[in-house]
Amino acid sequence: MLAGALVSLTAFPFCGDRRRLRLKQRWSAALLDALGVEVEADLTHAVPGALLVANHISWIDIYVINAALPAAFVSKEEVRHWPLIGWLAARNDTIFLRRGSRGHAKIINQQVADVLAQGKHVAVFPEGTTSDGRSLLHFHAALLQPALAAGRPVLPVAISYWELDGQRSLAPRYDGDISLGQCTRAILGRKRLIARLVTTPLRGLNGEDRKQVAAQAREAIALAAGLPLVNNPPETPGGLPVAPPSDARPTGSRSPAPADSA
């Protein structure tokens, strides 16, 4: 973290976009290496300017994605005020959202569209929370709307963690009552972990609506990660407070729900 803060403070202000993305990628890879995590990435379907839609298991998911496909992440507004982490997030192109605000939704949508239009990636976790890595929760389709509205592709990305003996690892899980310290100690307690990141075919290129794309992305990620689909969505979905389409009726809503979170 301190190394990342140093890079953000001394190098980022003087770098162009490409250089900043390379620095973010290298630092993320270095952090994972220090934790004993090796990244195996299949980037077959990756294209510039795509919305990365990934399953969410651990706090290190962000660094696994950045080590393979450096991206701007969408995060809740509260993170901006966290010591060091909030400062780092703000210096690393994070898009902060104010949940439950339709007015703010338009601003967020435009920010996401602007980043994608520059050929850069934006990443979201549409489950709205972490799982233990053994199943895939409900996807909140509203998170995909900014890319679809801007005519940008959605790239489903499957993340999974494995032990050296080929068994799926639960060490990185950061769900339930597991603390950051407990999660980190579990990761460090393994000699080596393999983080597999697999891109799947692009979605949202044929006029599908966000619910269709979310369902397709979820199925693609489940298949690529070898996960069963769980049909019980979180009670309080998290994510972008995206305003509903003009032809949709607003519906009621760990966080406040978006105006239309389906």
What's the rounded Cα separation, in Å, for the pair 114 and 93? 12
Instruction: Name the nearest CA neighbour of 53 among 187, 179, 168, 215.
Output: 215
| Band of pLDDT at residue 129, cut at 50, 70 and 90 | confident
What pLDDT does 195 receive? 98
- Please count the CA atoms within 13 angstroms of the CA of 58 that sit on its side-chain side: 26
What are the C-alpha distances in Å from 192 to residues 28, 64, 105? 17, 15, 41
Amino acid at 60: I
Give dist(CA 258, CA 140) in Å, integer: 9
pLDDT of 163 over the 90 cut:
yes
CATH number for the region 2-7+17-225 comes to 3.40.1130
134 pLDDT higher than 90? yes
- Residue 100 near residue 256 (C-beta atoms within 8 A): yes
User: Which helix (H) or strand (E) segment is 166 a member of?
Assistant: none
**Cβ-based neighbour number of residue 123 at 10 Å:** 22
Q: Which residue has the tokens 């639960």?
A: 170
Report the alpha-carbon distance of residue 123 to residue 105 in Å, rounded.
Answer: 17
Residue 157 has pLDDT above 90, yes or no: yes
Cα gap 71→69, rounded to integer Å: 6
pLDDT tens readout for residues 23-47? 889 988 999 999 999 999 999 999 9
Beta-strand relationship, 193-199 and 154-163:
antiparallel
The whole-number pLDDT of residue 74 equals 84
The pLDDT of residue 18:
73
Average pLDDT over residues 237-247: 39
Q: Over range 198-212, report the average pLDDT.
A: 95
**pLDDT higher than threshold 70 for residue 79:** no
Q: If you average pLDDT over each of 107-111, 249-253, 255-259, which comes out highest?
A: 107-111
pLDDT tops 80 at residue 257:
no
Beta strands in 43-102 (DSSP E): 51-54, 71-76, 95-97
3-class secondary structure, 206: coil
Residue 77 has pLDDT above 80, yes or no: no
The 3-state DSSP class for residue 198 equals strand
pLDDT at 55: 96
